[in-house]
Structure 1
Amino acid sequence: MELVTGHHKKKTILKWLITAGIGCFCLFLFFILSLWGFAKIQGPPPITVPQTTRIYDTNHHLIGKVEHENENRTWVNLDDISKPLINATISIEDKRFYQHHGFDMRRLAGAVLADIKSFSKQQGASTITMQYARNLYLGHEKTWMRKITEALYTMRLEMNYPKNKILEGYLNTIYYGHGAYGIEAAAKYYFNKDADELTLSEASLLAGIPKGPSYYSPYNNFKRAKMRQKLVLQSMVNNGYITKSAALSAYQAPIHLVHKHKAIKRTAPYFQDAVENVLKNQLHIDKKTLAAGGLKVYTTLNNSAQKKAEYWVKQIINPASDIQTALVAMNPQNGAVEAMVGGRDYHKSAYNRAVQAMRSPGSSFKPFLYYAALRDGFTPSTTLRSEPTTFTYNKGKSKYSPSNFGGYYANGPITLAKALALSDNIYAVKTHLSIGMDQLVKTARKVGITSPLAEIPSLALGSKPVSVLEMAGGYSAIANGGAKVTPHYITKIVNQKGDTIYEWHPQKEQVLNKATTFVLSQLMTGVFDKKLNGYSKVTGASVANELTHKIAGKSGSTAADSWMIGFTPHLVSAVWVGYDKGQSISTYPDSGYAKKIWAHFMESALAGQPKNSFKPPKGVVRKLVDPDNGKLATKACHNARYTYYLKGTAPVKYSPRCSKQKDHENHHKKHKGFIKRWFHWFH
């Protein structure tokens, strides 16, 4: 009787176990089906992988990156990854990757049993898809909830993306240590190669790193990295990817790691900072997109011009000096900023003096004044007296007594052409007051000067601070025949998908009279013409011999600032030199730096271009003029030079010292004509 009862109890327990097992299986099946159904309803998960934003020059060469939290990321297509690396990764990480649907049940079962035995979540059975899901959407904590969420994302990935796309994503997001995310970044970091150039030896070493990026890094422990490489190669042999001999050869092959990871010198760092500022503050690209959006930012930087600018700054300024400098080079035809120097050493000071510093431009502001004067009836031959003068303004309530540099004056009349070339301050202030002080302000505003200005006598001498970029932009309007263009750095931005999200379309606005602007530009070439020497030398005399191209320009100086700005129709450059704290420029080398940097840069940047690219427009005439008085001259007249005038405003009288020469020429022509007629009569 007891035996029957015991047997019945065992049978009851067995039935209960079977029922419970079936129930658990049904519940598990229900859970899996529910998870699968939920994953199906959710659809494809968004794949937004942080990618490094890259900055390119005008020739589409990479010049810099905007990295996400010091993470180096570069996305490459699966076709651009070496086959040995792909095979090594699949072999060591997920050998049945192409056979399963996101979960390797054999590995999963083994891992679950091991976890149950240890009452913890220790064993891993993550497939490539599961790891990719974790990299994209989850953290790395070891909890059951995270594993469930991971499973959900894994299903969604497998349901909606092909295997190769998943593998490509995995290889572009997996961490290889030392800030390198993705195989392209890793290949560059460890071997200075592209991902498609990796050998079997290199690929097997890299494929072993993700298991423990710090632990298996060959930089941290080369011996451990080699042990891991050996395991990867053995797995490739076991899975039929390579032969034993190939594995041995790969293991024994020498590994040439990049041993010196120097801090990469940024190309044109001040320019790149200016680009980032535009991206953030003008184009309103948020920090997250900028740092991790994988944007391709194409800029206007001319790398050749940039190198020349940096070279001449370094060559000319005394290394022991604390003086600073800034340079901006632009294409006046479209406003493209082609080169920028914001200081002598970016690592010592990232303050961009080309765009952030506001300094008094001195006499380099005068061309805007003389444009207004030419529109008001002045001509290159208009004369005013150059002598010490005290000006009264503000209805007699205020006085102003400017002086010429060095205290030199003509003490007599000089022409506008000579006043500009010699930078006569008395002439400038007289002109300013004569035409109305509002005219200079209006002209400056037209060409793009936005800094605060004031209708005061000293504005003619550049007393109000402006930026180097503003001055380069203002001169661009003169170089461009009176058409204003907006300075810009970025030509196009392309997002991760390859879509163009921004493109620059240069626009010109005719703000100045074309003929008048040309007359002004030719007056500005006189800065380098020694024929205009007078009570002092022309202000460009010190660099005139350095120039082989016809260039228009104007220098400027204050007690604390030295400027040189000039142009051809295709290139404008502005150079400022001074001390950050406004220290006086007292020594000759300091005061001459700006002109020398500018002259050498312009000549090197214009190499190979026509010597004279200025073309006169309609409405101007060219006359041979005596520079001392602005009257007509003959070719035999000493120092005579050609000068452009607006049509109808050129002088009609000859210079007194040239009149005798003129009479002699007329007599010679008459005499020659008589002989010619007499000779013709006899024939």
Structure 2
Amino acid sequence: MPKKQKSKKTHKVKKHILLKVFFVFLIVILVFCIKYLSIAVSLYNDASAKVNSISYNTFHGNQTTYLYDSKNSVINKLYASKNSLYLTSFYIPQAVKNAFISIEDKDYFSHGALSIKANLRVLYSIIKNNGKITQGGSTITQQLARTVFLNFDKTYKRKLEEIIIAIKLDQKYTKQQILEFYINNINFANNAYGIEAASRRYFSKSCNELNLSEICFLAAIPNNPTYYNPIKNINNTLKRRDFILSSMKKNNYITDYQYTTAVNYKIVLNPEKYDGNVWIESYALNCAARVLMKLNGFQFKNTFDTQQDIASYDKDYSNVYNKCINDIRTNGYKIYTSIDMDKQKLLQDSLDNGLLDFTEQNKGIYSLQGSSVSIDNKTGYVIAIVGGRTSPEKDYLNRAFQCFRQPGSSFKPLAVYTPAFEKGYDDTTIINDHYIDGGPHNDGDVYMGDISIRTAVQMSLNSVAYQVFNDITPTYGLSFVRDMDFNKIVKKDYTLSAALGGLTYGVTPIEMASAYSTLARGGEFIAPTCIRSIVNSQGETIYENNLGKRRVYTYDASYLMSDILKGTLENTWGTAYNVRLDGITSAAKTGTTSNQKDGWLCGYSAYYTTVVWVGYDIPRYVNNLYGGTYPGQIWHNYMQQVHSGLQDKDFYTS
């Protein structure tokens, strides 16, 4: 074939291939454009919808919920995940604004929503790293967009939406407003959001009282709240403070003298003191959440056929409960409680003073613990609740309603004797107290022979309770406890060991207090709560407690039980004789579990019922722990004071 003809053919083939490649390239470009144009349009629409839905109040965060005591004074303010104290621009110190502008966006007032140079650098990094963000470059406006509207994912989609939102924010608000929003919404670690909350959290004063060094110290935190957490990593915070001061000097916000003075200033943290109302807050939140659950139609249960039923119920309960907790913390309710702050202090002081000799701590929390609940018998309201000792560090575990413990002999009046009186037993019924093979031992292995139920209760004789429970049957005895909403009575508990409080999970002090309060009221049960009423953010009362009662024990059975339990305090052989009250008629039952791991005193007058528990969180032996020792002394000290000035009154008298 001639060379010229071959050359033409080759050229033709190459041209054909090039055309194919070109068309393929065009298709790829077209697909790429369609794909990313679609994404861009979607992100633009999403960003527009977010910005169009906001107002100035959006940046003020969630509405605060208030807790009130029995006298309608504010106890606590409840926040969602953020503790934020908003300051308008006028009240934000200029040094705070200068510090953030200097370190985060030095040309803030001269550019628009974006720094073109910085964002081109970021976009180049995104392309180079297959869609991942590996460096910063956001302006203050972009950071606000990310903080309020987006997450912190490092993807090109998030970055593009951040840019679009920032542009729209810049069109809607002034530079001073955006700076105000930013300073009030950024994270300063340890649940502090905004400069004012941070100032109070770390220095216990307003940001207007801070000096330059302290301001720059706080300004160091938001860049990386974990790494610059002042509580855990103060050296890191100090290094960045110095860097910010250097930047402020370089950008002519401060003089050399101000820089030198501030960089040499010794930072001394003065963390905000906790007000000690964690017990009230946690219990009130729990009660309020259960109110909302009920209003929303949730069906509460404490009886189940199978373990699977329990697991399914617990899952449903948890989901609805958590939604209600979040609702309460974010939607500006007013929750009116029955907590009497004077009695609350008396109960806390009594518990703390009663356990002063036990000084062992674990991470700032006392190892030996106690909890207590006090109820107004007339209304059934919880008037004081203490979930633990006052410790050097915050203790969030409210043992008064969150911890289930073995009740020991304090369970006998509820599940054994009062139900037995319903069956025809009375206080003069004679039982032969003796050891039964396979049964429980009496304290010290002492047995009394023939003895009346009245004396057997006051001496807390295990063998007698065991025999009576066997006669009335666990099914019958525990039915009364279940009717009083004890939450952890399960199938495994229907054995004779339950007569002495030997339960699979146990009981809580709040359950025991409401049950003994039922005896004090002549057998009428009122579900324990501290919620009087709840008002929503629109000012509408959505719940008013009607103090509904239901009969669990008969009047006669309750009266007889209370009359017997008076002797536990009044008679020298009674297990609570040493903690009897002066001038106030009262009844009580002690409880001590095996190896002295738990001690209980459950006692009441015509006015109040108070239950005290003492023990370790992880059960272990406590020397000299009996119901009548540490729990009894705590009970006595509180009850004696809380009855001061009240006229003595016997049970069931008007």
Instruction: Provide the TM-score with structure 2 as the length reference.
Output: 0.62
Give the equivalent residue in structure 1 for 2:632.
598
Distance 2:166 2:591 in 1: 68
Contact in 2 for aligned 1:191/1:258 (Cα 8 Å): no
For the pair shown, the structure with the greater C-alpha radius of gyration is 1
Give the equivalent residue in structure 2 for 1:526.
567
AA aligned to 2:578 is: S
Give the equivalent residue in structure 1 for 2:458.
421
Distance 2:395 2:100 in 1: 47
In 2 relative to 1, CA 406–344 (structure 1 residues): closer, same or farther, beyond 3 Å? farther
Encode CA deviations 1:339-395: one digit per residue, 9 max, x unaligned: 12399999999796964444252254225543334445555xx4233544588xxxx
Distance 1:619 1:310 in 2: 31
Alignment of 1:77-92 (within 5 A): 77-78=87-88, 81-85=91-95, 88=98, 92=102
In 2 relative to 1, CA 289–161 (structure 1 residues): closer, same or farther, beyond 3 Å? farther
1:315 aligns with 2:327: no
Give the equivalent residue in structure 2 for 1:575.
613
Distance 1:370 1:33 in 2: 74
Shift of 1:553: 0.8
* Structure 2 counterpart SS, 1:420: helix
Shift of 1:519: 4.8
Contact in 2 for aligned 1:174/1:182 (Cα 8 Å): yes
1:556 aligns with 2:591: yes
Distance 2:124 2:319 in 1: 60
Contact in 1 for aligned 2:76/2:277 (Cα 8 Å): no
AA aligned to 1:542 is: N
AA aligned to 1:384 is: T
Contact in 1 for aligned 2:43/2:157 (Cα 8 Å): no
AA aligned to 1:228 is: S
* Structure 1 counterpart SS, 2:245: helix
Give the equivalent residue in structure 2 for 1:172.
184
Distance 2:435 2:155 in 1: 86
Distance 1:112 1:435 in 2: 80
Distance 1:155 1:374 in 2: 77
Contact in 1 for aligned 2:338/2:383 (Cα 8 Å): yes
Alignment of 1:409-558 (within 5 A): 411=449, 414=452, 416-425=453-462, 428=465, 439-450=476-487, 451-452=489-490, 459-464=498-503, 466-469=506-509, 470-488=511-529, 505=545, 507-511=547-551, 512-514=553-555, 517-530=558-571, 533=572, 537-544=573-580, 549-558=584-593
In 2 relative to 1, CA 323–409 (structure 1 residues): closer, same or farther, beyond 3 Å? farther
Contact in 1 for aligned 2:585/2:650 (Cα 8 Å): no
Pick from 401, 406, 412 the counterpart of residue 365 of structure 1: 412
Contact in 1 for aligned 2:67/2:75 (Cα 8 Å): yes
Instruction: Provide the TM-score with structure 1 as the length reference.
Output: 0.60
AA aligned to 2:84 is: T
Alignment of 1:178-189 (within 5 A): 181-188=193-200
Pick from 322, 331, 337 the counterpart of residue 375 of structure 2: 331
In 2 relative to 1, CA 295–555 (structure 1 residues): closer, same or farther, beyond 3 Å? same
Distance 1:388 1:209 in 2: 70
In 2 relative to 1, CA 364–227 (structure 1 residues): closer, same or farther, beyond 3 Å? same
In 2 relative to 1, CA 267–297 (structure 1 residues): closer, same or farther, beyond 3 Å? farther
Distance 2:354 2:652 in 1: 39
1:227 aligns with 2:209: no
Shift of 1:529: 0.7
AA aligned to 1:76 is: Y
Distance 2:367 2:122 in 1: 69
Give the equivalent residue in structure 2 for 1:624.
none
Contact in 1 for aligned 2:600/2:626 (Cα 8 Å): no
Shift of 1:153: 0.7
Encode CA deviations 1:398-426: one digit per residue, 9 max, x unaligned: x8866654455555554x54343223456
Matched length? 550
In 2 relative to 1, CA 324–63 (structure 1 residues): closer, same or farther, beyond 3 Å? farther
* Structure 1 counterpart SS, 2:485: coil
Shift of 1:524: 1.7
Encode CA deviations 1:279-337: one digit per residue, 9 max, x unaligned: 68274325995999698897887662563365146325585999965533142522466
1:340 aligns with 2:340: no
Distance 1:324 1:543 in 2: 21
* Structure 1 counterpart SS, 2:641: coil
Encode CA deviations 1:15-53: one digit per residue, 9 max, x unaligned: xxxxxxxxxxxxxxxxx9999999767752555898899
* Structure 2 counterpart SS, 1:341: coil
In 2 relative to 1, CA 363–331 (structure 1 residues): closer, same or farther, beyond 3 Å? closer
Distance 1:344 1:204 in 2: 32
Distance 1:355 1:376 in 2: 34
AA aligned to 1:44 is: N
AA aligned to 1:570 is: Y
AA aligned to 2:352 is: Y
Contact in 1 for aligned 2:188/2:198 (Cα 8 Å): yes
Give the equivalent residue in structure 2 for 1:285.
322
Distance 2:218 2:482 in 1: 60
Contact in 2 for aligned 1:362/1:556 (Cα 8 Å): yes
Distance 1:37 1:403 in 2: 76
AA aligned to 1:541 is: Y
1:104 aligns with 2:141: no
In 2 relative to 1, CA 78–250 (structure 1 residues): closer, same or farther, beyond 3 Å? farther
In 2 relative to 1, CA 411–186 (structure 1 residues): closer, same or farther, beyond 3 Å? closer
Distance 2:540 2:177 in 1: 23
In 2 relative to 1, CA 508–165 (structure 1 residues): closer, same or farther, beyond 3 Å? farther
Give the equivalent residue in structure 1 for 2:161.
149
Distance 1:527 1:253 in 2: 68
AA aligned to 2:517 is: S
Which segments of 5 or more consecutive residues in structure 1 lack a partner in the other structure?
A: 1-31, 237-243, 392-398, 621-683
* Structure 2 counterpart SS, 1:193: coil
Contact in 1 for aligned 2:203/2:269 (Cα 8 Å): no
* Structure 2 counterpart SS, 1:566: strand
Encode CA deviations 1:98-148: one digit per residue, 9 max, x unaligned: x99xx539x957879999999999999966433311333457799987665
* Structure 2 counterpart SS, 1:445: helix
